[in-house]
Chains A and B, each alone.
Chain A
Amino acid sequence: MNESVNYKFPDADGRFGKFGGKYVPETLITPLKELEEIYFSLKNDPGFIQELNQLNSEYTGRPTPLTFADSLTKHYGKGKIYLKREDLCHTGAHKINNALGQILLAKKLGKTRIIAETGAGQHGVATATVCAKFGMKCFVYMGEVDIERQSLNVFRMKLLGAEVIPVSSGSKTLKDATNEAIRDWVANVNDTHYIIGSVVGPHPYPMMVRDFQSVIGTEAKYQIHNIEGRDPDYIVACVGGGSNAIGIFYPFINRNVKLIGVEAAGYGIDTDKHCATLTLGREGIFQGMKTYLLQNDEGQVSEVHSISAGLDYPGVGPEHSFLKDEIIADYYSVTDDEAIKATELLSHKEGIIPALESAHAIAYLEYLMPKTTKDEIIIVNVSGRGDKDLNTIKNSLGY
């Protein structure tokens, strides 16, 4: 039930078709090979699976509910909308699913120091959390712009004992934090494990992070079969790097379910202030992977924008580039304003304040729902809760 039919990616070289790979400085090749080896040796190890399952249930609070969104469904008067509630995970977002998996690997690798990058701060908080629990030193790179707009999460990381290292290069957001984390790793490979927060970077990260996040889709499938006795017709998720999206998509690939990824259109895709990578980018090599990339004519990476720090990234996970080209999933985008409206809508109708990232998935319902029929089923992944974004939302709504 959990394995996807006829879909075996990445290949042995870490490629999803032409995307993916290991475009990294030589220094990182050996640690990446070690990581891949330990991951393959543990992936099907009953002890490892049991340890992770137990943490997922007793620490994170999995399975997260699948909530029927009664009022939202009535609001559109079309198909039935269900919400996968990753906002109810410990720490408030799906990021903990990956952080727990990777901290177990780091322990097995004998590493004592953990580094991470963060945009919204959710991955930073998740990493700081698992480091506190497992007694590891934790350093989180975060762009100065994001430190400002996600200040609550900065404090959470500090309270959890992590050191937050401000990044002032480039656009001072997620991409620059990722560059700094990679540079740190190059300099400290011996004792350090890098917990990447999304399905990005060099192989084996996109595969590994996907596998840890696919618990979302595996649960959702079980839950919707229990409630409705069948697969949904649509699954909708927001895409920054793409980890919550691939997590819920993966167990449904090649099963006649329409998979929809929603990117951030920022001020609009007719402006240059957006991060709709799959919509407007083209093939590039960036941060260790070949993937769609927002770049200028000369191959310089674009400065991008989204109101949501977790989506404010010019690249995207290589598997999404592959799913797009193979037309296995479809990708659309919604603007900052549409995401803010969706935040308000979900709060009013369902009593759930979503993260601004997740609000992008909700916002796409405006386009999707009119096309659905009453007997169709839609699952939206609510990847996180909105507490971290209250300041931004407050300012945007002018409360």
Chain B
Amino acid sequence: MSFIADFISKKNETKEKILSIFLTAGFPDKTRFAELAVKVLDAGADMLEIGFPFSDPLADGPTIQHSSQIALENGVNLKKTFAYAAEIRKHTQKPLIMMGYANPVLSYGVKKFADDAKAAGVNGLIIPDIPIEEYDNFFDESFDGLDTILLITPTTTDARIKLIDEKSSGFVYCVSISGTTGSSNKSISSTLDFLKNTYSTVRNNKMLVGFGISNENDVKTFAPHCDGVIVGSAVIKSLMNDDPNYSNTIDLIKKLKSSLI
């Protein structure tokens, strides 16, 4: 069993759901990123998704576009992201996941990427522009030991949900809305219908829900229909004008965590 799946199961056994937090590598401060990540984990995040930047982030809304842009300006690349992960790994036993687009990985070398990620203590990878159609052409056996987490969205048919559930490892990432990161839910009731259906269709994996979750209310609404939630844009937004101790962001994470219990 995968380390991530195992970790989620153990939490779930004690009736706890997962809080996964997305951060953009090197944002807002390239010299203090590992410190920020450890604070976030200490405040109650169960998992970390570390975004590596790309110049053309198709699936992202304005907030994460902005943080990616700053990260690129800060000189963040994959090498630097692995260094952050290795540093964070020294301080935590929790799952670390990397998230980003296919082209930087292709350019770095797919095998070298997998090797370096594992060496840095990374447990999984999310690449939103590799759907199952491209999966076998992209991920080779060098990804053994590194979970490849696939996404399900409201336009995914039930037949596809089953295929994705078979290929995905670690968990399945259920995108609650048709939209980019940071969009808000247009209709809570149709989102809930979608989550319930997906949750009952997914058999092999744990299911975490992300996109469109920004506050305690969203967490309370969605948590009963999944094994955990993922919060990204709301955290990045908070980091945009936080104090040097990241107090507001840490506060936000504590609140999100307590609303899960």
A interface residues (Cβ-Cβ under 8 A, vs B): 13, 21-31, 169-170, 175, 179, 182-183, 186-190, 283-288, 293, 295, 297-301
State the Cβ distance, A169 to closest chain B Cβ, in Å: 7
Q: Is the CB of A21 within 8 A of B157?
A: no
C-alpha gap A186/B160 in the complex (Å): 18
Max chain B CB contacts within 10 Å: which of A189, A297, A300? A300
Q: Is the CB of B178 within 8 A of A21?
A: no
Q: Is the CB of B61 within 8 A of A286?
A: no
- 10 nearest A-B residue pairs (beta carbon): A299-B107, A299-B104, A187-B179, A30-B155, A285-B102, A27-B153, A300-B55, A25-B59, A299-B103, A301-B55
Q: Is the CB of A13 within 8 A of B183?
A: no
Q: Is the CB of A293 within 8 A of B103?
A: yes
Interface residues of B in 93-116 (CB under 8 A from A): 101-108
Q: Return chain B residues, CB-CB under 8 Å to A297.
A: 107
Any A CB within 8 A of the CB of B133: yes
State the Cβ distance, B106 to closest chain A Cβ, in Å: 6
Q: Is the CB of B129 within 8 A of A24?
A: yes
Q: Is the CB of A186 within 8 A of B131?
A: no
Q: Return chain A residues, CB-CB under 8 Å to B104.
A: 298-300
Contact A285 to B106, CB < 8 A, known contacts A27-B178, A30-B155:
yes
Interface residues on chain B, number (Cβ under 8 Å) = 40
Q: Return chain A residues, CB-CB under 8 Å to B58.
A: 24-25, 179, 182-183, 186, 287-288
CB closest chain-A residue, reference B157: A30
State the Cβ distance, B102 to closest chain A Cβ, in Å: 4
Contact A189 to B56, CB < 8 A, known contacts A22-B131, A27-B175, A285-B102:
no
Q: Return chain A residues, CB-CB under 8 Å to B152.
A: 26
Any A CB within 8 A of the CB of B204: no
CB closest chain-B residue, reference A183: B180
C-alpha gap A124/B153 in the complex (Å): 30
Any A CB within 8 A of the CB of B243: no
Any A CB within 8 A of the CB of B13: no
C-alpha gap A27/B56 in the complex (Å): 17
C-alpha gap A2/B157 in the complex (Å): 38
Q: Return chain A residues, CB-CB under 8 Å to B3.
A: none
- 9 further A-B contacts with Cβ under 8 Å, apart from A169-B65, A299-B54, are A22-B134, A25-B153, A26-B153, A28-B155, A29-B131, A179-B56, A187-B179, A285-B129, A300-B55
Any A CB within 8 A of the CB of B63: no
CB closest chain-B residue, reference A30: B155
Q: Is the CB of B157 within 8 A of A23?
A: no
Q: Is the CB of B137 within 8 A of A21?
A: yes
Contact A284 to B107, CB < 8 A, known contacts A23-B130, A23-B134, A170-B55:
yes
Q: A-facing mask of B163-187, CB < 8 A → 1, else 0?
A: 0100000000001001110010000
State the Cβ distance, A283 to closest chain B Cβ, in Å: 7
Q: Is the CB of B155 within 8 A of A295?
A: no
Q: Is the CB of A29 within 8 A of B55?
A: no
Q: Is the CB of A24 within 8 A of B131?
A: yes
CB closest chain-B residue, reference A15: B137
C-alpha gap A285/B56 in the complex (Å): 11
Q: Return chain B residues, CB-CB under 8 Å to A13.
A: 133
Q: A-facing mask of B110-148, CB < 8 A → 1, else 0?
A: 000000000000000000111101100100000000000
C-alpha gap A186/B60 in the complex (Å): 10
